[in-house]
A = this chain, B = another copy of it.
């Protein structure tokens, strides 16, 4: 397996979200030779979707994904507001030419302990978003989040669970595989094989730190933690994945406090040496 060269990297804008706006991210990707970018919707809307789309195109970047649709449980029901917001996300993803719309599906509804109800809402919301995604030709990528986010962010927490949903919903829906969320899973190898080329829609990298000081914002730079990234990347690629390696690091205590160009340089170096 060959090392990751910069043109095989995509910058998820969350990685430098405290330092750069989207225009700066696009410039930074170009300057550091990244092949792609994956914007978050807040940064995209702040810049303006059309303007951003043009700038990304002009910079020659591909878009490994748009973060993020979903949050189907947020209002306690998959109502028109939720559906409309996800349709807008699909439209935005299409306008910037994203490979897929990444879905963070939502956790328990407010004041609820009813996890089966959350699962039902999520599947209903995914089905409706997928229907629209098919109309406009945008792929829907469920991101199974680490089980520690089941209550408050996403109640789809393993590749098996995500693929069971994909099996039921049919073509056009797959998974965004983030090593941070799935590295621990003894079934990962089998489920990546089950997913196959069509359903491994994105591959996100960062690292799991020991200790992890904050459940949300203490992800590590590749190489600083315990995830065997080469093994996981090898599994994704062995099953046909040939997209970009998207770097998504939430790091309030470390990388968000550094100069963004230093962060980009470190990513390029670590991608070459430890991924």
Contact = CB atoms under 8 A, between A and B. Distances in A.
A210 B161 CA distance: 23
A186 B157 contact: yes
What's the dominant secondary structure at chain A's contact region? loop
B152 A113 contact: no
A184 B155 contact: yes
A174 B164 CA distance: 27
A119 interface: yes
| Size category, A interface | 20 to 34
Interface stretch (A66-74, A79-87, A143-151, A256-264): A143-151
Contacts of A183: 115, 150
In the complex this chain forms, how many copies of it are found? 2
Contacts of A186: 119, 155-158, 161, 164
A42 B151 CA distance: 33
Contacts of A184: 115, 147, 150-151, 155, 157
Q: Find the residue from A119, A151, A160, A227 having the highest chain B CB count within 10 A.
A: A151
A239 B158 CA distance: 25
Given A108-B226, A147-B184, A151-B184, 19 more contacts: A112-B226, A113-B226, A113-B227, A115-B183, A115-B184, A115-B228, A146-B148, A147-B147, A148-B215, A152-B210, A152-B211, A155-B184, A157-B184, A157-B186, A158-B185, A161-B187, A164-B186, A212-B215, A215-B215
